[in-house]
């Protein structure tokens, strides 16, 4: 393995004197106390990371990489940029970003799960760091572009994470957050819940013999269903000093991306 292990806390989190905003209420079915959440997630992803690419193909019906490239381009990624992909998982967003920044750019993937970093190592992005979004082990103003793909639900506090993202972005730097969300349509909500939480959970658990696959899909849907509304996320982005905050969505809000910029004079 060639990824780098970084110890969270080596670089201080930017302090924002604001009320914390968790992305969803505690889900006691999965962990008893909030301080157990990160350990639960790390263990769950370590045990299921080897199937994550297949999960992505099943949930996106094969369009996952195409959509990631499209979102990155529309957000403003350019050749030669220095990019940080937070919660990179198996490296799917990192892979797309690497293609778009070209040989003159650089992409670093960061994730707290060793299992996910092992999977990411199989892709073209070889600059991988272990860490969490709330404590980024990088200097101020290090990146032109920061992405986070389908992992906003896993941070402990939106404002702490967003403050860190702003800190490591250069003036004029771009933030892109991809997310799967609760759709507004009651019919699409019911269909999505049944497909992700029930069908995919059963199919992946049965086909792999791994019970954790069912837990993963149930947890994924529960964090989707109970996630804070878009206005809360946009408000948190603005409150930490990011500008041009916007929301773009498809399929009645099932697929969303949030974009923001660190102002050049900030």
- Alpha-carbon gap, residue 232 to 222, rounded angstroms: 18
pTM over 0.75: yes
Looking at residue 63, what is its pLDDT? 85
Residue with tokens 């658990």: 205
The pLDDT score that the predictor gives to residue 126 is 86
Residue 109 has what pLDDT?
Answer: 98
Considering the segment(s) 4-13+27-183+229-261 as one domain, its CATH architecture is: 3-Layer(aba) Sandwich (3.40)
One-character DSSP codes across 44-76: HHHHHGGGHHHHHHHHHTT-HHHHHHHHHHHHT
The pLDDT assigned to 19 comes to 84
Compute the distance between CA of residue 21 and CA of residue 232 in angstroms, rounded to an integer. 8
Q: Render each residue's pLDDT in the chain as its tens digit; 266 residues.
A: 433 334 344 444 444 456 889 999 999 999 988 889 999 999 999 999 999 999 999 988 878 899 999 999 999 999 999 999 999 999 999 999 999 999 999 999 999 999 999 999 998 888 999 999 999 999 999 999 999 999 999 999 999 999 999 999 999 999 999 999 999 999 999 999 999 999 999 999 999 999 999 999 999 999 999 999 999 999 999 999 999 999 999 999 999 999 999 998 86
């Amino acid at each position: 393995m060639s990824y780098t292990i970084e110890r969270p806390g080596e670089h201080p989190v930017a302090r924002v004197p604001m009320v914390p905003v968790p992305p969803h209420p505690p889900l006691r079915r999965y962990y008893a106390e909030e301080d157990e959440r990160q350990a639960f997630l790390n263990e769950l992803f370590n045990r299921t990371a080897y199937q994550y690419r297949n999960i992505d193909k099943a949930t996106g019906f094969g369009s996952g990489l195409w959509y990631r490239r499209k979102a990155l381009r529309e957000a403003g990624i350019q050749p030669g940029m220095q990019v940080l992909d937070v919660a990179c998982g198996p490296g799917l967003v990192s892979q797309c970003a690497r293609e778009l920044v070209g040989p003159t750019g650089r992409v670093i993937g960061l994730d707290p799960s060793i299992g996910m970093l092992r999977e990411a190592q199989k892709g073209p992005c070889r600059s991988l760091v272990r860490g969490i979004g709330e404590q980024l082990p990088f200097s101020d103003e290090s990146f032109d572009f920061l992405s986070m793909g389908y992992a906003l639900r896993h941070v402990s506090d939106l404002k702490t994470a967003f403050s860190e993202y702003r800190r490591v972005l250069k003036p004029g730097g771009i933030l892109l957050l991809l997310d799967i969300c609760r759709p507004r349509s009651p019919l699409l909500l019911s269909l999505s819940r049944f497909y992700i939480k029930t069908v995919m959970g059963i199919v992946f658990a049965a086909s792999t013999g791994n019970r954790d696959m069912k837990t993963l899909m149930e947890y994924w849907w529960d964090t989707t269903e109970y996630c804070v509304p878009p206005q809360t996320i946009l408000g948190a982005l603005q409150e930490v000093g990011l500008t041009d905050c916007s929301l773009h969505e498809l399929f009645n809000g099932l697929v969303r991306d949030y974009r923001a910029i660190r102002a050049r004079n900030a």
